[in-house]
Amino acid sequence: MNDPRSAPMPSRRRSMAMIAAAGALAATLRSQTPSVQTPSMAEKPSNPAHQALTALHYEIDFKASPQRFYDAILDQKQFAAFTGMPATIDPTAGGAFSQFGGMIVGRNLELVPAQRIVQGWRPSHWDAGVYSIVHFELKPRGTDTTLVFDHIGFPAGEYDHLDGGWQGHYWEPLKKYFA
């Protein structure tokens, strides 16, 4: 029997399509993305045990419906409300976003309302053209949501910085926002 908390693995074809889309996204955004280091999002030293890691995985329960979670991530007013920082988000597939006052930028690659958000994603302090993929899979759990989240393809040495960022700038504020 399938464990409802286990994440379905994307097919090889879908994974390759997402990687190709991220490459195209990088080419498209390369000239549009500033290469400015922002002190509050600057790269932090990585734990030596995590130095080579290039992926994060979370499974977290939220007291919100999948639609409410989906809207909080893609609606710029709600995003700004739970983060306390400015956001500009085009909530369509292919739409660009700029979050935390431009510290995080990218494009929405795949959107399935109340089910899935896949984004080409990067902090503005990374080298121009370097993008990773973030994948939010929203699983209904009664009136709540289990988020199955993967962040893949980021540069080695970024694990600890990104893990702290997801915890402190997304998951904790979202839990308070939905309370």
Residue 42: inside a domain, yes or no? no
Residue 13 lies in a domain: no
Can you give the CATH number for the domain in which 166 is found?
3.30.530.20
Higher pLDDT, 47 or 140: 140
pLDDT of residue 12: 56
**Residue 72: per-residue pLDDT:** 98
Checking 31-39 for CB contacts under 8 A at 24+ apart, the result is 32/96, 33/105, 33/122, 33/124, 33/128, 34/102, 34/124, 35/124, 35/125, 35/127, 35/128, 36/124, 36/125, 37/124, 37/125, 38/102, 38/103, 38/124, 38/125
- 20 found inside a domain: no
**pLDDT (tens digit per residue) in 14-60:** 555 555 555 554 444 444 433 333 334 444 556 777 888 999 999 99
- Number of domains composing the chain: 1
Q: Using alpha carbons only, give the angle 47, 40, 53 rounded to the nearest 5 degrees.
A: 30
> pTM of this prediction?
0.76
